[in-house]
Amino acid sequence: MKETENFSDNPISIEKTLDGLFDKFELNFDPKNLDLFTKAINHGAVPIIISNHQSLIDGVAITKVIEKVISQVNSEKLNGFYLPYAVSINTGDQDPFVTQCFTSLAEKCREKQVFLIPVVRKKDKEKYGIDEHNPLYINSQKSLKKIISLTEDKYGLAIFPEGTTQGGRLNKLGRFFGLSSADPENAVDYLIPKFIKKDIDFCVLPIGINGSCNLFSPDTYKVGKTESNIIVNIGDVMEPRVFKDNPKFSSNTVLTNIAQKLLQPEYVGSFFRSPQRVDLT
């Protein structure tokens, strides 16, 4: 049985744990892919990072990728990235310990030009009663306006289209549920058709996170003691022509790419499982 710890009563331990989390994520990529992505940004393309979602600490993986990207981009071309998150994390509705950690994590991300912005999901309205009259919902609408205007403000977007960490949960057989289909309300499915219609240049970088759920379980909300690192595979850049040539595009197109090329078999899940996929063992 994997050992776990809960640091909710010790702020010093929380800070130490968060520092250690950044060291646990190991980036695996072809430098040519990152070069192509950053060159596109330097030439004016709007950058979009799309990732699977296994754990509430996946923002650390995204932040490490963004650090690499920003180090290669002209500062006048990019002010940072927006990373939407469920507002229920901040309110304590999901878990008080998570909220306590989140405050420190958000500050660390901000230092690295990753700006976490709250959004109210449909399930937040239904489960936690965050409706149109709630101040949290009003703030969420302001966040969505930020996302919509990111091209004018010179920001990129990093997003988990699934909108849930269900992929990192265990089913009754003790296996991971794996990658699930995208939330139909995710921002990517709104933005990319808009970019294509207005002839706005953009580029998409797919990310496959492998094993973050073993370090911080979405089932228990506890930190697991594991010796192995979390492998973050950075995929090939997807340019606008990929989406223009596919009228049925959705963010599931990118998630399929992630499932086939960037995830280890146990994290793929039945929805995206395919005999043509490439196993990363």
pLDDT at residue number 9: 43
- For residue 124, the cross-strand partners are none
Task: Look at residue 89 in the predicted model and tell me its pLDDT.
Answer: 76
Q: What is the mean pLDDT of residues 52-64?
A: 94
Higher pLDDT, 8 or 65: 65
Residue 199, C-beta contacts closer than 8 angstroms, at least 6 positions apart: none
| Alpha-helical regions (H) of the chain | 11-24, 31-42, 58-70, 87-91, 96-111, 122-128, 135-148, 150-153, 188-197, 212-215, 240-244, 251-261
The vertex-63 CA angle with 59 and 67, nearest 5°, equals 175
Beta carbons within 8 Å of 27's beta carbon, 6+ residues apart = 64, 65, 68, 232, 234
How many C-beta atoms surround the C-beta of residue 117 within 10 A? Answer: 16
Of the two residues 148 and 276, the one the predictor is more confident about is: 148
Inter-residue contact 252 to 268 (CB < 8 Å): no
Sheet of 230-234, strand order:
25-28, 230-234, 202-210, 46-51, 155-159, 80-86, 114-119
The pLDDT-based confidence of 170 (bands split at 50, 70, 90) is very high
**Token reading at 274:** 């395919």
Percentage of the chain beyond pLDDT 70 is 81
2 band by pLDDT with thresholds 50, 70 and 90: very low
Mean pLDDT of 226-252: 87
What pLDDT, on the 0 to 100 scale, is given for residue 32? 95
Residue 188 neighbours by CB distance under 10 Å:
21
Q: What is the pLDDT of residue 131?
A: 65
Residue 1 pLDDT grade (very low, low, confident, very high; cuts 50, 70, 90): very low
Domain 8-267 annotated CATH 3.40.1130.10: yes
Domain boundaries, the chain: 8-267
130 vs 44, more confident: 44
User: How far apart are alpha carbons 208 and 258 in whole angstroms?
Assistant: 6
Predicted pLDDT of residue 16: 61
Highest mean pLDDT (candidates 100-114, 228-242, 261-275) = 228-242
Between residues 277 and 124, the one the model is more confident about: 124
- SS3 state at 129: coil
pLDDT higher than 70, residue 129: no
Query: In the chain, what is the straight-line distance between the N-terminal and C-terminal CA atoms, in Å?
Result: 23
